Amino acid sequence: MSATDATPAKSAETPLLEIKNLQVGFQTQRGMVTAVNGVNITLMPGKTLAIVGESGSGKSTTAHAIINLLPGSGRITGGEVLFEGRNIAALDEGQMEKIRGRMIGFVPQDPMSNLNPVWSVGFQVEEAIRANGIATGKQDVKKRAIQVLSEAGLSDADKRLKQFPHQFSGGMRQRVLIGMGLSSNPKLLIADEPTSALDVTVQRRILDHLEKLTRESGTALVFITHDLGLAAERAEQLVVMYKGKVVESGPSREILQNPVHPYTQRLVAAAPSLASRRIQSASKPLEDLGYEATRVTEGVDLIAAAESRVDAHAAAATAPIAIAVKDLSKVYKIRGGKGSASTLNAVDGVSFEIPRGTTMALVGESGSGKSTVAKLLLRLEDSTSGEIRIDGTDTAPLKGKSLLALRRKMQPVFQDPYGSLDPLRNIGNTIAEPLGVFNVGDKKSRRARVDELLDQVALPKSLVTRYPNELSGGQRQRVAIARALALKPEIVILDEAVSALDVLVQAQILQLLSDLQAELGLTYLFITHDLAVVRVIADNVSVMKSGRIVEAATTDEVFGNPREEYTKELLDAIPGANIPLGV
């Protein structure tokens, strides 16, 4: 994948894809809004290119414009999309149908919503094969469908043809979508954040596979992502987009090591995958790593946050234990067919201790039981057996007032900032609600406390009268944190609190959490599937698999010297972990 083994390009060779001064606009009530403004991209046959940017940067819109599938009122308002020298932006619908699938394959973003739930997986792959004339005749089409699905890494493809999308996991669905995109041997494959909805280990496996497939077939790849680390690891060329414009483009490694545009510099600084990589090499002076440029950029400095954590950690060794969990188990009964019932040990003999003022990260893939631990701690569900002590008090027998007191001491922040705020309540009322529930202060002092909290989470006071739908994802998550802090809790349980956010916003929230901890002496239980952010925020790490803790140690130990095979796998899966740093 390195740039050196590239065949010397003949000067006469036409690029496979050449986008010239592309403009895309969306018709709104206030007139045309430009989403993509003057994008230029050149891609040679068989090469890989990544478009990087935050949500709203126009990267997906650019991808959709290439195959002329812009959503809603979107139109190409200017420029050209040359595919093998032919302007496909000017083609009519019938001609475009022949390009899609056969010439340009597409792998969409969200595996959950991109397969039609009412048709079997086989049907949906077969119709693509038939439409593009790759095979005719029932048996041939079926054979080809099995072949593409097996190539995409789906085991037992022949048996799975008759199954429906809801019987597949997210990773399996993504493999189906990749198989579909490649089913007609296109010359170009556009992959729009093909794995951002998946667990890191699954993500890694799927991307490895995608890379192998495109390399073997000589398919050129346009890869769209918000994670610079991932982009740099997977593509030879990078295009960084910001507010509808290309702000920087060139070979991946060059951009990563020497970002010129301030926005790219911020992206490099914020990418948790890269930050954790940098910290990992912290035994060497940071200046040697070739990343010093990123340290001085405005805003977020994840390395500094992690460094100050090391100092705080030394002091924490003597701190009293805030959360002590011993042999915690939770068994769910699952109703099977014909009245038979089986059990699921969601949490199986989990023990850990978190000293006051420190952060423990609970890491694992979806289904590992980490969120169930959070629910048990918060007493949103009762444990089957085991013991939870908060500041030495067993929480299981607590009822009524004493349970309320516990809740006051321990506040949650959940993953989805869109779902965890009441859309009918303004921000001021949302943050003040816990104060009302616990009858803290009068109306005036509550107002003052809301202002103070908004200040703490770095939001303007003017937001008080706004509603959640008027806020960005990052702002909403800040509001959720402010609400959690309203009652001055000692413990905050963060269940995937940054997983749904863009990298830049994610970095800001991590910074905020870090600052708040230093300021207020908070104890965090930080639940995540992404080891990259753990490095930045946590003192201790417990790795969960199938309801059990398989490895527990300090963050340095886990990253520097992982004992379990599973932990190593998780670490390897951090995108960008294998980028040659040139140190």
Partner 1 sequence: MTGYIFRRVLQAIPVFFGTTFLIYFMVFAMPGDPVLALFGDKTPSPAVIEQLRQQYHLDQPFIVQYFIYIGGIFRGDLGVSFSGQPVADILARTFPVTIRLAILALLFETVAGILVGLISGLRKGKLFDASALTISLILISLPIFVIAFVAQFVFGVQLGWARTTVGPGAPIQDLVLPALVLASISFAQIVRLTRSSVIETSGLDFVRTAYSKGLSRKRIIPVHILRNSLIPVITYLATDFGVLLVGATVTEGIFNVPGVGNTLYQAIIRGEGPTVVSFVTVMVLLYLVVNLVVDLLYGLLDPRIRFVK
Output 125 or 275, the one with its CB closest to partner 1. Answer: 125
Binding mask 330-359 for partner 1 (x = CB under 8 A): -------xx---------------------
Q: How far is the CB of 160 from partner 1 (least distance, A)?
A: 14
Output 71 or 320, the one with its CB closest to partner 1. Answer: 71
- Indicate the SS3 state at residue 385: strand
Tell which positions 79-98 bind partner 1, by CB under 8 A: 93-94, 97-98
Judged by CB under 8 A, which stretch of 63-71, 148-156, 377-385, 418-426 contacts partner 1?
63-71
Contact assessment for residue 523 and residue 354, using Cβ atoms and an 8 Å cutoff: yes
Contact assessment for residue 284 and residue 277, using Cβ atoms and an 8 Å cutoff: no
Q: How far is the CB of 110 from partner 1 (least distance, A)?
A: 6
- Binder to partner 1 among 166, 443, 461, 568 (CB under 8 A)? 166
In eight-state DSSP terms, residue 161 is T
Judged by CB under 8 A, which stretch of 100-108, 275-283, 348-356, 416-424 contacts partner 1?
100-108
Binding status of residue 197 toward partner 1 by CB under 8 A:
no
- Binder to partner 1 among 108, 122, 547, 575 (CB under 8 A)? 108
- Binder to partner 1 among 47, 59, 102, 309 (CB under 8 A)? 102
Binding status of residue 69 toward partner 1 by CB under 8 A:
yes
Binding status of residue 73 toward partner 1 by CB under 8 A:
no
# residues near partner 1 by CB under 8 A: 39
Output 66 or 322, the one with its CB closest to partner 1. Answer: 66
- Binder to partner 1 among 36, 141, 152, 180 (CB under 8 A)? 180
CA distances from 101 to 106, 129, 133, 136, 403 (A): 7, 9, 10, 16, 58
Q: How far is the CB of 543 from partner 1 (least distance, A)?
A: 33
Q: How far is the CB of 135 from partner 1 (least distance, A)?
A: 14
Contact assessment for residue 333 and residue 498, using Cβ atoms and an 8 Å cutoff: no
In whole angstroms, what is the distance from residue 511 CA to residue 513 CA? Answer: 5
In whole angstroms, what is the distance from residue 423 CA to residue 467 CA? Answer: 7
- Binder to partner 1 among 52, 88, 115, 148 (CB under 8 A)? 115
Amino acid present at 560: G
- Binder to partner 1 among 31, 71, 285, 392 (CB under 8 A)? 71
- Binder to partner 1 among 61, 184, 273, 411 (CB under 8 A)? 184
Output 97 or 156, the one with its CB closest to partner 1. Answer: 97
Binding status of residue 212 toward partner 1 by CB under 8 A:
no
In whole angstroms, what is the distance from residue 549 CA to residue 361 CA? Answer: 12
Output 67 or 271, the one with its CB closest to partner 1. Answer: 67
Phi/psi region, residue 572 (left: phi>0; alpha: psi -120 to 50; beta: rest), is alpha
Hey, how many other C-beta atoms are within 10 angstroms of the C-beta on 540?
Answer: 24
Q: How far is the CB of 435 from partner 1 (least distance, A)?
A: 40
Nearest to residue 531, comparing CAs of 560, 509, 502, 488?
560
Q: How far is the CB of 536 from partner 1 (least distance, A)?
A: 32
Output 72 or 392, the one with its CB closest to partner 1. Answer: 72
How is residue 5 written in tokens? Answer: 């083994």
In eight-state DSSP terms, residue 91 is -
CA distances from 317 to 314, 320, 390 (A): 6, 9, 18
Query: CB neighbours of 356 closer than 8 A, spacing ≥ 6?
Result: 316, 319, 320, 321, 322, 490, 521, 523
Packing angle, helices 200-217 and 565-572, rounded to 10: 60
Beta bridge partners of 433: none
In whole angstroms, what is the distance from residue 217 CA to residue 104 CA? Answer: 14
Matching residue, tokens 């729009």: 192
Binding status of residue 100 toward partner 1 by CB under 8 A:
yes
β-strands 359-363, 523-528 pairing: parallel
How is residue 155 written in tokens? Answer: 């085991």
Q: How far is the CB of 199 from partner 1 (least distance, A)?
A: 21
Output 118 or 317, the one with its CB closest to partner 1. Answer: 118
Output 71 or 137, the one with its CB closest to partner 1. Answer: 71
Contact assessment for residue 546 and residue 377, using Cβ atoms and an 8 Å cutoff: no
Q: How far is the CB of 57 from partner 1 (least distance, A)?
A: 20
CA distances from 390 to 77, 346, 481 (A): 60, 22, 21
Q: How far is the CB of 105 from partner 1 (least distance, A)?
A: 8
Output 98 or 461, the one with its CB closest to partner 1. Answer: 98
Nearest to residue 228, comparing CAs of 278, 170, 181?
278
- Binder to partner 1 among 27, 73, 95, 116 (CB under 8 A)? 116
In eight-state DSSP terms, residue 486 is T
Judged by CB under 8 A, which stretch of 5-13, 118-126, 375-383, 535-543 contacts partner 1?
118-126
In whole angstroms, what is the distance from residue 326 CA to residue 402 CA? Answer: 21
Q: How far is the CB of 225 from partner 1 (least distance, A)?
A: 18
Strand order in the sheet with 321-335: 341-355, 321-335, 385-390, 393-394
Rg (CA), the chain: 25
Q: How far is the CB of 439 from partner 1 (least distance, A)?
A: 44
How is residue 475 written in tokens? Answer: 């702002």
Binding status of residue 72 toward partner 1 by CB under 8 A:
yes
- Binder to partner 1 among 77, 120, 185, 456 (CB under 8 A)? 120
Phi/psi region, residue 379 (left: phi>0; alpha: psi -120 to 50; beta: rest), is left
Q: How far is the CB of 128 from partner 1 (least distance, A)?
A: 4
Q: How far is the CB of 184 from partner 1 (least distance, A)?
A: 7
β-strands 540-545, 341-355 pairing: unpaired
Binding status of residue 191 toward partner 1 by CB under 8 A:
no
Binding mask 122-161 for partner 1 (x = CB under 8 A): -----xx--xx-----------------------------
In eight-state DSSP terms, residue 484 is H
Q: How far is the CB of 117 from partner 1 (least distance, A)?
A: 6
Chain residues that interact with partner 1, rule: CB under 8 A: 64, 67, 69, 71-72, 93-94, 97-102, 105-106, 108-110, 113-120, 127-128, 131-132, 164, 166, 177, 180-181, 183-184, 337-338
